Every structure is written in C-alpha cells, then in structure tokens.
C-alpha cells in the first residue's frame, strides 16, 4: 500500500473573486508552516503537493505562460486531476444581476474565447474537489464587496454553494476568514486538510460559521494583553495608551479570532498587540455590523460602566497586595538578625 508521501494532491487556487489579493500576499509570510514547506513536502508524513497558485505557481515554474497555468484547472474539470483541493479567494459576484458583460472571470473558455466567470468555475470544480477552502473574509462571508447597496450581489462561498454543502469526500466548506487572513491560520488549515486527505487526521472540526474550531474558538478579548486593564476598568481615552481600547471602538470581547495570541508574523504584531482596535474582520457580519469602525460598540458603554465599580475595587485591593508583596520579610533586615 502506498504511503502518504507517495500520493500527490493538487492545490488549485482561484483568486478571481472580488478581492484585493491580500490573502495571497499574506500567505507568503506564513512560517508555521511556510508555503514553501507545504509545497516541498518538508513536514513529516505530508503528501506530495502540487501547488497551482497565481502568485507562485510551483508546478509550471517561471517559464510557464497563462495557458500552461490554466490547463491544470481544465484538467481538474475533466476529472483528470484527482484528488485536488480547491482554494477560493475573493467574494462571488452574482452574474445574473447584469444584462451583458461579467463581474469577474478567470481565464477564457477555449471553445468560445469568452471569460469564464468565478461562479462558473465554482460550478465546474466544486463537485469534483476533495475539499473547498474559502480564504479571507471576502470568500468566506462576502466581506467588503458584499456591503449593503453593492451592485454585484457579492457573497461568500457558503452563500453560493450552500452552508450545508459537502464535497464528494464529505468535507464541509472550510472557511478561514480575516481581512486579510492571519498567515499561519491558513497554512495550518491547509496542512490539516492534507493530513486528513491521506487518512492521518480526523474530520476537521468546524464551528457554525465553518471556521476551524481550534483557531477561532476563542475571542480576541480572551487572548488580548489588554484584557487585564478591562477587568480593572482601566480604559484608554486616546490612542497610544497600553490600556483597554474598547471605548475607542474595539470589538474584541465579541469577535472570534486568535490574532492577539498568535501575533501576525513569527508571533509578532496583530491589531490590538500594536495598538489597533479590532473591527471584527473574521466575523460573518463584517463590515456592516461593525461600522462605523472608530465608534465604541453599542454594548461597550454599558459594559464599561457595569465593570467600573468592580474594576476599581479590584484594582485597589491588588494595589494593597502588591505594596505588601513589594517589601522583603522583616526578618531579612539587618536589625532582625542581631
């Protein structure tokens, strides 16, 4: 029986949705693991991976043209590229909302020489894919392009395929949100699915929003270095303060994201870690439910007032305790030893 390392899994990445390509750029900064380690199979037990990614096409190389790159997608459509994982970046526009033209496309159809729309690629490839991963908040839940009043009818992959959709292998859509994604969150999710595909990991655990539970199970607040200030009712009134920034518009107590714990690159950075508010970019309600971004959350005023008396009392008691602990025991003094 062939080992996992003898198997080849193709990774087909479509970035033709409505997006800024920020998630592709972010992935280049991943270190746990890096995209190079995934592509080269440098991790123990990882199968061989052929990465077909517009940003860095490892399989075609720098001399391969657009036709060489797209040929992999046509092969997958014909059923000649099994197994493959489909990665979608960018929201899916509704091509039924216009009379002519198209909102977004990815290559041309060889028969008609007309652009193949993003939604058409999903229709062609999703049923044949081992798994479908929606990368970034635009692809997962619509994101910026799906704001109220947008003309494109943009939506996330789960809204297009259906929230209960499963691949031929029985895997639900896997959503890795973020605007852009935290690099290691995506690299880790890709790695998990590759191990699962070769029978080395159980079904990927997802929450109700189809996010990996171990990455998005906690809130920003739970992992934030500023959470202790919140507990003591120490709130920043202006940027530049190390205190809790809820009053400045931070949604951390309600947003599911691990950036404060994980950092951004090599454990460094991340919105609240560097003084920025959390605007909820990993949530399905982003951005509409979090605007205007610089205003305190609706419940922020109530919660900060409610915690005020408790926080001040706790801070005072801790101050007294700290003052006591900040002194050496009396028997260590010179007079006590004579």
Whether 13 shows a pLDDT value over 60: the answer reads: yes
pLDDT band at 328 (very low <50, low <70, confident <90, very high): confident
Every domain of the chain and the residues it spans: 4-216, 221-324
More reliable by pLDDT, 238 or 328: 238
Average pLDDT over residues 203-229: 96
Whether 110 shows a pLDDT value over 80: the answer reads: yes
Residue-wise pLDDT tens digits, 113-149: 899 999 999 999 999 999 999 999 999 999 999 999 9
What per-residue confidence (pLDDT) applies to 10?
93
Annotated binding site for [4Fe-4S] cluster: 20, 138, 179, 221, 224, 244, 250
Whether 2 shows a pLDDT value over 50: the answer reads: no
What per-residue confidence (pLDDT) applies to 66?
53
Say which CATH superfamily domain 221-324 falls into. Cytochrome-c3 hydrogenase, C-terminal domain (4.10.480.10)
Selection from 70-74, 209-213, 261-265, 311-315 with the highest mean pLDDT: 209-213
How many angstroms separate the CA atoms of 119 and 155, rounded?
Answer: 11
What per-residue confidence (pLDDT) applies to 168?
93
Strand ranges across the sheet with 84-89: 48-52, 8-14, 84-89, 131-135, 174-176
pLDDT band at 1 (very low <50, low <70, confident <90, very high): very low
Residue with tokens 């920043």: 236
The dihedral of CA 33, 38, 40, 42: what is its sign?
positive
Whether 50 shows a pLDDT value over 60: the answer reads: yes
Peptide bond into 287 cis (omega under 30): yes
pLDDT band at 198 (very low <50, low <70, confident <90, very high): very high
Q: What average pLDDT does the chain have? A: 90
pLDDT band at 178 (very low <50, low <70, confident <90, very high): very high
Residue with tokens 């809130």: 219
More reliable by pLDDT, 18 or 61: 18
Annotated binding site for [3Fe-4S] cluster: 278, 281
What per-residue confidence (pLDDT) applies to 277?
96
What per-residue confidence (pLDDT) applies to 278?
96
pLDDT band at 14 (very low <50, low <70, confident <90, very high): very high
Helix (H, G, I), strand (E, B) or coil at 25: helix
How many angstroms separate the CA atoms of 162 and 282, rounded?
Answer: 19
Whether 61 shows a pLDDT value over 90: the answer reads: no
Average pLDDT over residues 243-249: 93
More reliable by pLDDT, 294 or 123: 123
What per-residue confidence (pLDDT) applies to 139?
98
Whether 208 shows a pLDDT value over 60: the answer reads: yes
Which fold, 4-216? Rossmann fold (3.40.50)
Average pLDDT over residues 9-17: 93
What per-residue confidence (pLDDT) applies to 113?
87
Annotated binding site: 20, 138, 179, 221, 224, 244, 250, 278, 281
116's CB contacts (< 8 A; 6+ apart) are: 105, 106, 107, 108, 109
What per-residue confidence (pLDDT) applies to 298?
83
Whether 336 shows a pLDDT value over 70: the answer reads: no
Residue 297 near residue 244 (C-beta atoms within 8 A): no
How many angstroms separate the CA atoms of 246 and 299, rounded?
Answer: 10
DSSP letter for each residue of 164-194: T-B-TTSPBPEEE--SS--HHHHHHHHHHHH
């Amino acid at each position: 029986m062939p080992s996992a390392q003898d198997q080849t899994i193709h990774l087909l990445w479509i970035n033709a949705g409505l997006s800024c390509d920020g998630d592709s750029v972010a992935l280049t900064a991943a270190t746990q693991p890096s995209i190079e380690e995934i592509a080269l199979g440098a991790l123990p037990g990882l199968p061989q991976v052929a990465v077909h990614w517009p940003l860095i096409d490892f399989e075609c190389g720098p001399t391969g043209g657009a036709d060489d790159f797209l040929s992999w997608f046509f092969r997958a459509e014909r059923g000649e590229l099994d197994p493959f994982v489909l990665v979608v970046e960018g929201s899916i526009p509704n091509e039924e909302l216009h009379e002519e033209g198209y909102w977004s496309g990815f290559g041309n159809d060889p028969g008609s020489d007309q652009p193949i729309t993003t939604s058409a690629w999903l229709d062609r490839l999703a049923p044949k894919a081992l798994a479908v991963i929606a990368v970034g908040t635009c692809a997962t839940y619509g994101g910026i392009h799906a704001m109220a009043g947008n003309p494109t009818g943009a939506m996330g992959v789960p809204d297009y395929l259906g929230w209960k959709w499963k691949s031929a292998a029985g895997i639900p859509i896997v959503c890795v949100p973020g605007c852009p994604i935290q690099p290691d969150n995506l690299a880790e999710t890709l790695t998990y699915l590759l191990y699962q595909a070769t029978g080395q990991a159980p079904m990927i655990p997802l929450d109700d929003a189809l996010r990996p539970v171990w990455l998005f199970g906690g809130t920003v607040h739970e992992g934030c270095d500023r959470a202790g200030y919140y507990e003591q009712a120490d709130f920043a009134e202006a940027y530049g303060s190390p205190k809790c920034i809820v009053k400045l518009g931070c949604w951390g107590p309600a947003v599911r994201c691990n950036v404060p714990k994980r950092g951004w690159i090599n454990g460094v950075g991340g919105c609240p870690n560097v003084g920025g508010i959390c605007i909820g970019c990993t949530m399905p309600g982003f951005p509409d439910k979090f605007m205007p971004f610089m205003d305190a959350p609706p419940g922020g005023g109530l919660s900060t007032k409610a915690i005020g008396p408790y926080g001040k009392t706790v801070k005072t008691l801790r101050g007294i305790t700290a003052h006591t602990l900040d002194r050496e025991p009396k028997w260590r003094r010179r007079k006590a030893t004579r």
